[in-house]
Chain A
Amino acid sequence: MVAQNIFFAIFAVIMVVGALRVVTSNNVVHAALWLVTVLAGAAGQYILLSAEFVAVTQVLVYIGAVMVLFLFGTMLTRARLGEETDLNNKTWILGIPVALLLFGTMSYALIDSFGDEKLPEDATVVSTQVISDQIFGPYLIPFWALSFVLLAATIGAIVLARKD
């Protein structure tokens, strides 16, 4: 359990620092690359939570596909790739009290309701077979709906981005 806690702490520090850099960096490309560290740290946390399939999917879909999309979006919408000074709104300072208030409320609620409840130590890794039985069993209708969402998103992205 000690090793798991050490790795949790390492990943957590990496994720929080990366997330803070994502929202404070003055360079869009640097922010995208910091987002990669956050997503990779999240994949590590998923493995600690014995969710190997979700962790691999996270690496493939987020770090593989979504980040390439972000970098392409940055490339196609900016003439230059460098430091910029006006990435924040004029009212950006209001975000700090909102985020702190939200975090205070959420942490109070979480500590109040779960306290120091422990996760089960003998949890077995959820196998991919179990997940597929879930998806093609009780969660089949949401799976179909999701297929239509992805189809609509693909067609919508093509229609929106084509030039004519």
Chain B
Amino acid sequence: MLLNQFLLLGAVLFCIGVYGVIARKNAVMVLMSIELILNSVNLNLLAFAMRSGTADGHTFALYIIAVAAAEVGVGLALVLLIYRNKRNIALEDLSEMKG
């Protein structure tokens, strides 16, 4: 197996995730795209861990999984709160802080 095949797969997933963050209006869909981005980072970390033969990359990947779980929890609570106040979770409508 080549190192680059995993890194390029991670790059593809990362770019698809970035496209999703830019293009999507629904806040839940944006959170899903962020999950794609975090997964591509994990793929890179584990590929480099196999290259170096140490377990540091595995530790980082586990930490990223934990941070992603926390992020989704808080993010969905925020989305729920926005929905309760505005009956709508379209990100374009959240422009109260626009100058």
Contact = CB atoms under 8 A, between A and B. Distances in A.
B98 interface: no
Give the interface residue-count category, chain A: 35 or more
A90 B17 contact: no
A92 B33 CA distance: 14
Interface string B21-53: 011111011011101100100110011011101
A66 interface: yes
B32 A22 contact: yes
Contacts of A160: 74, 77-78, 80-81
B59 A28 contact: no
Interface string A93-114: 0111011101100110011001
A126 B53 CA distance: 9
B94 interface: no
Interface residues of B, number: 69
Contacts of B42: 42, 46, 54, 58
User: Would you call the interface of chain B mostly helix, strand, loop, or mixed?
Assistant: helix
Given A107-B11, A160-B80, A74 B28 contact: yes
Contacts of B28: 28, 70, 73-74, 77
A87 B26 contact: yes
B32 A94 contact: no
A161 B6 contact: no
B95 interface: no
25 contacts: A1-B1, A15-B9, A19-B17, A22-B32, A23-B33, A32-B32, A35-B35, A46-B46, A53-B62, A54-B61, A66-B35, A73-B76, A77-B89, A95-B19, A99-B15, A99-B18, A102-B14, A110-B11, A120-B50, A134-B59, A143-B63, A149-B67, A153-B74, A154-B73, A160-B78
Given A126-B49, A163-B84, 10 more contacts: A19-B17, A28-B26, A54-B65, A65-B69, A72-B76, A96-B19, A99-B15, A99-B19, A102-B15, A161-B80
Interface of B: 1-9, 11-20, 22-26, 28-29, 31-33, 35-36, 39, 42-43, 46-47, 49-51, 53, 55-56, 58-59, 61-63, 65-74, 76-81, 83-84, 89-92
